[in-house]
Amino acid sequence: MKKIFKEIIKHPRAVILSFFLMIGISVFFYPRISVNYNINDYLPEDSDSTLALDKMNSEYDEPIPNARIMIKNVSINETLAYIDKIENIKGVDSINWLDDIVDLKKPLDTYDKNLIDNYYKNKNALINVSIDEEKTISATKEIRKIIGENNNMTGSAVNTAVATESTVSEIRIITIVGVMFMIFALILTTESFIEPLIVVIGLFSAVIINAGTNIIFGEISFVTNAAGNVLQLAVSLDYSVFILHRYKEEKKKYKQHLKAMDEALNNSFSSIISSASTTIIGFLALCFMRFGIGRDLGLALAKGITISLVTVFTLTPVLILYMDKLIEKTEHRSFVPSFERFGKLVTRHMYVFVAIFVILVIPSYLASNSNSYFYGSSRIFNEETKLGQDTKEIDDVFGKNDNYVLLLPKGELEKEKELSKELKKISEIDTILSYVDTVGETIPSEFLDKDIEEKFNSKDYTRMIISVKADFEGEKTTKLIEKIQSKISKYYKNDYHLVGEGISTDDLRKTITEDMKVVNIIAIVAVFIVLLLTEKSISIPVILVLAIETAIFINLSIPYFMSSTVFYISYLIISTIQLGATVDYAILFTERYCETRKIYNKKEAIIETIKSSTVSILTSASTLTVVGFLLGKLSSHGILSQLGYFLGFGTSISLIIVLFVLPGLLSIFDKIIQKTSKDLDFKEVV
């Protein structure tokens, strides 16, 4: 790498022009990247619900209802007038209401009251609408204009529309505030007013290039779009700070600034590569999830950290050398105190901290695995939001409701009739719309209205639209799905397809629960191997992974002790992100300890390590913590908000363990570290 670094330093203009070109290309492509807010789209292609949905879309033009609209205090005729207006909106594929089931010319009291109450109750009308996924935002806006703010709408299509619009504006605020805090932290922890500017230019260049090059994926998930950029900023911040600090150290030894920078790059290369490699590997572990959001986020973040790494060793050194005189002219006294006293305090009580750490390991592990979870998107907007309030009002009047679509092989009318009778015995099933229920098995299809025929029958399949009184997810919903599947299998074995929001969510539950075990094991093993190779030690990887994994256990146990429900997607993603992002602090601390331990005895080495590394660790950790809490506080999207809080608390816990517990672990295992590490020669200095 020495030759490469020399060439980079010798050709600063070429480096800057190259980055200008890459930034220009990225800015051009960034607006052209589409963002997907539909969680169910990230189910594996071979999952039952994905295969069933593909089959239904290929056989039928009319999709499953994905929005529920409640019009208050209306008559039957007024409801029909609303339906006429909604039907004319571009993006509305179909509408299902009472007039599809009964003859409204007859008095309603001649029909089963339970049937009527599913659609019209206490002068409130509940309309089921199918909205085209590509026109979700425009269609929901038009529907809202027609029904007004006093009426209510909910459903997966509405979730997607609200998430799309709110997330964009919220992330803009989070990014601005996060960057402002990062600049503030850099001003406090650097010794020149120009140094923060250099770091910010380098970081933003890497983030813009990464954001624009996401065009290679064609489409990115809402999680990647919302959290990817700010995570890249916060995680890669310490690489730039480390280069700056190292350069200033080398300047004291060499008068020639080019020589000082060359030495700084060479001497910091292994430490930064070690930290970045564990982070990249941690993010790449997400790619082993069958659930597509993990792969989407993992690839984008791994690419982002790689770009940040390249930027740190190319653009950042060039900027430092260009602005070297300005750095010297704008130098100021350090705004942060010496951490020597803090080092002595930690050293005095480090074994107590280790004892507390050991006590917490098993309970936090058990608690972190005992949380209750949400798996789908039905709870992402709480009752403090308009959508959450709308959902509650609809549920209060009409109860929880979902629609399942069952595809059956066409041509066995008697079997279909028997199955329909069996399904109606299930108490949670409200209504069934099907060919045999609406028309009857005795009337030939050629005598039917074409619209009715196409609604139920395709070339090879017939379908039943099953309305159920059930939430989109939960233990009761899982049991209901199993009960329905059991009834269908009695007649059709596995020759059927079942589609619906609840079905997809249940598939999601099965998929990402399996992912958890795989991703965690891969992440831990991969990070361990990287540390084994970069640190050339057997014991150091064990100590560092144990420290950070315990921080993860403690973080994920917080919801359990607070009796709150966790979005499993957030739970799954944060365990890998926290490992990949915060193990850097442990690496930096340990490498400093090993350096100082060659000169000082154990206690003095720990004090010196805390004194020299705390500023760098605090700069990165405080930024990541603030970004996390900003995401948690400002995002109305439940999954992103919870991911943010996990990130904020997780980074703080990792920081505490690195600064308070790791010193004691390094001291206790000092001799073992020396014996199990290559080229480590610790000295006992009196």
Backbone φ and ψ for 425, nearest 5 degrees, come out as -75, -15
3-class DSSP state of 161? helix
User: How confident is the model at residue 485, as a pLDDT?
Assistant: 93
Q: Do 330 and 448 fall into the same domain?
A: no
- In the predicted model, is pLDDT for residue 60 greater than 70? yes
Q: Please name the residue ranges forming H helices in 381-494.
A: 386-398, 413-424, 435-438, 450-456, 475-492
339-343, 427-431, 479-483, 561-565: lowest mean pLDDT where? 427-431
Rounded Cα distance, 606 and 662, in Å? 10
Ranked by mean pLDDT, the top range of 33-47, 279-293, 546-560 is 546-560
Could you read off the pLDDT of 629-669 as tens digits, one per residue?
Answer: 988 888 888 888 898 899 999 999 999 999 999 999 999 99
- Cα–Cα dist 359/361, whole Å: 6
Any domain includes 276? yes
The position carrying tokens 């989407």 is 296
The pLDDT of residue 443 is: 47
Residues 516 and 563 in one domain: yes
Task: Say what the pLDDT of residue 546 is.
Answer: 93
Q: What is the mean pLDDT of residues 569-597?
A: 85
Q: Could you tell me the CATH number of the domain that includes residue 624? A: 1.20.1640.10
Residue 33 falls within a domain, yes or no?
yes
When pLDDT is cut at 50, 70 and 90, the band that residue 346 belongs to is: very high
Phi, psi of 499 (to 5 degrees): -125, 150
Could you tell me the residue range of the domain that residue 140 belongs to? Answer: 67-154
Ranking 99-103, 131-135, 311-315 by mean pLDDT, the lowest is 99-103
> What Cα–Cα distance (Å) separates residue 275 from each residue in 135, 534, 574?
44, 9, 18
* Domain boundary residue, one of 505, 528, 562: 505
Task: Kindly report the CATH number assigned to the domain that includes residue 425.
Answer: 3.30.70
Please tell me whether residues 516 and 607 are part of one structural domain: yes
> Of 7-21, 344-358, 653-667, which gets the smallest average pLDDT?
7-21
**Residue 232 is assigned to a structural domain of this protein:** yes
Q: What is the mean pLDDT of the chain?
A: 86
267 and 355 share a domain? Answer: yes
Q: Residue 536 domain-assigned?
A: yes
Tens-digit pLDDT profile for residues 500-555: 888 888 888 887 777 777 888 888 888 888 888 888 889 999 999 999 999 999 99
* 184 and 120 in a common domain: no
Q: Which of 505, 539, 568 is the last residue of a domain?
A: 505
User: Which residues, including other chains, have CB under 8 Å from residue 569's CB and lie 6 or more apart?
Assistant: 39, 223, 291, 293, 375, 512, 639, 643
Q: Does 444 share its domain with 319?
A: no
* Share above pLDDT 90 across residues of the chain, in percent, rounded to a whole number: 33
In a domain, 648, yes or no: yes
The whole-number average pLDDT for the span 295-323 is: 92
530-565 per-residue burial string, b: 16 or more CB within 10 A, e: under 16: bbeebbebebbbbbbbbbbbbbbbbbbbbbbeeeee
Same domain, 148 and 224: no
Q: Quick check: 132 pLDDT over 80?
A: yes
Tell me: do 176 and 309 sit in the same domain. Answer: yes
Average pLDDT of span 36-51 = 81
Q: Is 467 helix (H, G, I), strand (E, B) or coil?
A: strand
Name the region of 461 (left: φ>0; alpha: ψ -120 to 50; beta: rest).
Answer: beta
The pLDDT, as a whole number, for residue 452 is 62
Question: Are residue 575 and residue 617 in the same domain, yes or no?
Answer: yes
d(CA 624, CA 577): 11
What is the pLDDT confidence band of residue 439, given thresholds at 50, 70 and 90?
A: low
The pLDDT score that the predictor gives to residue 442 is 46
Average pLDDT over residues 50-69: 83
**Looking at the structure, do residues 205 and 74 belong to the same domain, yes or no?**
no
Q: Comparing 447 with 280, which gets the higher pLDDT?
A: 280
For residue 572, how far is the Cα from the chain centroid? 8
Per-residue model confidence (pLDDT) at position 331: 85
pLDDT, tens digit, 9 for 90 and up, residues 208-264: 999 999 999 989 988 888 778 888 887 888 788 888 888 888 888 887 888 888 888
Together in a domain, 663 and 537: yes
Evaluate if residue 392 carries a pLDDT over 60.
yes
Helix axes 195-213, 12-29, angle to 10 degrees: 50
Higher pLDDT, residue 53 or 667: 667
562 shares a domain with 667: yes
Digit-coded pLDDT (tens) for 301-314: 999 999 999 999 99
CA dist list (Å): 235 to 497, 509, 544, 553: 44, 30, 18, 20
On the question of pLDDT at 447 being above 50, the answer is: no
Question: What is the structure's pLDDT at 686?
Answer: 44
Q: Residue 684 — pLDDT band, cuts 50, 70, 90?
A: low
User: Domain for residue 55, yes or no?
Assistant: no
In a domain, 57, yes or no: no
Q: 381 Cβ partners below 8 Å, 6+ apart?
A: 159, 162, 163, 387, 388, 391, 636, 637, 638
How many domains, in total, are found in the chain? 3
- Whether 50 maps to a domain, the answer reads no
Which of the listed residues 452, 476, 505 is the one where a domain comes to its end?
505
What is the mean pLDDT of the segment spanning 74-81? 92
